């Protein structure tokens, strides 16, 4: 089955210790997104890749970086996690950039910062 896979499902890190979250897809979609969802809040877009083109949301903290080495994989790097970065991180893909196109989500990685 074509899908979006996120690893790990649960990640615990220490305050200030860099952490990397991983996303892979078998859908061969051009676009990959990273969302942050804090408890009982709406998922919030951090950035997206259209192929190799990176697009950062204006309010995404500099602490958050992303890499997309190939079509299938995308990584979220948090350089110095703070307590406020504890959240669910959702990876999503879509076939193309267009309003209304369905996005396919992975199961998420829940990040805990101690």
Binding site for another protein (CB under 8 A): 4, 6, 9, 31, 33, 40-45, 48, 50, 55, 57, 90, 92, 94, 96-108
Closer residue to another protein, CB minimum distance, 33 or 113:
33
Question: Least CB distance from residue 16 to another protein, whole Å?
Answer: 28
CA angle 62, 3, 35 (to 5 degrees): 20
Question: Least CB distance from residue 105 to another protein, whole Å?
Answer: 3
The helix, strand and coil proportions of the chain, stated in percent and rounded to the nearest 5, come to 5, 50, 45
Question: Least CB distance from residue 23 to another protein, whole Å?
Answer: 11
Closer residue to another protein, CB minimum distance, 50 or 73:
50
Closer residue to another protein, CB minimum distance, 26 or 41:
41
Give yes or no for a contact between 105 and 5, defined as CB atoms under 8 angstroms apart.
no
For the residues of 31-61, what is the DSSP string, one character each?
A: EEEEEEE-TTS--EEEEEEETTEEEE-TTS-
């Amino acid at each position: 089955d074509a899908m979006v896979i996120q690893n790990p499902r649960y990640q615990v890190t220490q305050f200030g210790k860099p952490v990397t979250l991983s996303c892979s897809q078998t859908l061969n979609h051009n676009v990959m997104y990273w969302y942050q969802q804090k408890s009982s809040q709406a998922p919030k877009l951090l950035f997206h890749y259209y192929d190799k083109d990176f697009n950062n949301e204006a309010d995404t903290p500099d602490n958050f970086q992303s890499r997309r080495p190939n079509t299938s994989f995308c990584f979220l790097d948090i350089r110095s996690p703070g307590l406020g970065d504890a959240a669910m991180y959702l990876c999503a893909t879509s076939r193309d950039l267009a309003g209304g196109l369905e996005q396919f989500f992975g199961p998420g990685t829940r990040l805990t910062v101690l």
